[in-house]
Amino acid sequence: MEQNFLEGNIPSAIGKLPKLQILVLSENRLSGQIPSSIGNLTLLYELRLEANNLMEAFLPTLEIVNIGSLPIEIGNLKSLSILDISNNKLSGESPSSIGECNSLEHLIRDNLFEGTIPQPLTLLKGLRDLDLSLNNLSGQIPKGVEKLSALQSLNLSFNNLEGEVPTEEIFGNAIAILVNGNGKLYGGIAKLQLPTCTNHRSTEQKKSYALRIVLVIIGVVFGFLLISYFLTLFWTRRSKSKPLSTPLIGDRFLKLSYKELFQATEGFSSTNFIGSSSFGSVYKGIVNQGKTTAAVKVLNLQNPRVYKSFMAECRALRNIRHRNLVKILTSCSSLDSKGNDFKALVYEFMVNGSLDDWLHLQMEEHNHSKNLSLLQRLNIAIDVASALDYLHYNCYVEIVHCDLKRSNILLDSDMTAYVSDFGLARLLLEPDKQAQTSTIGIKGSIGFAAPVLCVISFATDRHSSMMVVAMNCGLDSENGETANDDDIASRE
């Protein structure tokens, strides 16, 4: 029934013909699977099913087979000697089980098989004819093919094979092998007229070298762009986080801008106003993200002495550390919202104000709870004397306050005294400048200049400094009353 127009499936009832030896159904329109009942045809030695639309299925043991599909069960055909599946449209990879057909001598297939040549083919020691032409096979020729000593004919033409062609056994006979139609093969014997290994490798090396150069260039460009991106990101974030103010007292202090101080003091409002002097006004504010209460001293830049006072105070407070010296939190040198110069000093806030507030109460505020006891006055005097002793004798450089007065002595919640306002402070850096410093015009507030000048002149003992402190703390009157500025001025 060859070359007819048979359609449909092969009936499974065909397995009930146990004496059938030849079954030719080639060049028809059969479809579906080969029925497993064919395995019952034990006498069958020739089966031709090529040029149909059959699907792969189990096949029995045969001696001569010319079939149209290649199932994985092909390995069960131990007696198979001829396998011809040419002129079909079979696709996919060849089953590796074909290497188990030990009696196979002729293998012919002309289809659309893809993938590599199965390595198990090298196990077919009795294979004489191998035709794998006109497929889509790729990869290299398996190393064991040249060791098939019985091989007499090899056709690998018109595939996508690549690599070096061997030269041993059958590959040494140009008449017995066909490898044309594989553009990536090279080497082999000269009669095959393939590119030599040297030229091919040289071309591959050039391509590989060019590829490496391209990859290096791409890598360098990509790396440069990546580094530029991170540097730009870093500097952008740094510029955003950098405060507008310029701290002049060191990097370890807070960094606050005009805007932050403006917000901390509620716009330098009168409700936060603490006091004022010729150098500026002091406001209470909350800084450091609401963690710290501070006294913000905004300098009056209309006063020509303010710039020198600001720098002097920054220099004096930059490195000094003492328990009785007011702690400075930071400085701010920036521009205000109108573009004008803005300078401020930010101190630790003292809840009990200044000593002057306690010694000179307003009549309406005068009450017993605000009066200082003798013990409190003594403690304040000792605190101030301790601060002066540090400035004069134990500081990194001798510092003269030049404006020590009651309003510059601040009190914390425990009534501990702190010396503040170093706007007129002098740093005595060289011993030969002591005389010059003591002869310069009087510095400081009227009524308090003489005691300070006594300190600048370096009294022969520290009891003189203690006397100055006592006068400022109101301990010099016979009746325990505080001395006023006129009393002190008259004593000078």
Residue 226 is encoded by which pair of tokens? 């990546």
Helices and strands (H and E) in the chain: how many: 9, 25
Active site amino acids: 403
Rounded CA gap, 283 and 274, in Å?
A: 5
> What Cα–Cα distance (Å) separates residue 454 from each residue in 60, 107, 387, 444, 448?
126, 122, 16, 13, 11
Rounded CA gap, 206 and 204, in Å?
A: 5
Rounded CA gap, 175 and 161, in Å?
A: 19
Asked if 283 and 274 touch (Cβ cutoff 8 Å), the reply is: yes
Owner of token pair 């101080």:
261
Residue 271 is encoded by which pair of tokens? 């409700």
- CB under 8 A, 24+ apart: contacts of 460-466: 462/385, 462/389, 465/385, 465/388, 465/389, 465/392, 466/381, 466/385
Backbone angles phi, psi at 286, to 5 degrees: -110, 115
Any idea what the Cα angle at residue 240 is, between residues 235 and 242, rounded to 5°?
90
Asked if 419 and 438 touch (Cβ cutoff 8 Å), the reply is: no
Rounded CA gap, 129 and 121, in Å?
A: 12
Asked if 264 and 294 touch (Cβ cutoff 8 Å), the reply is: yes
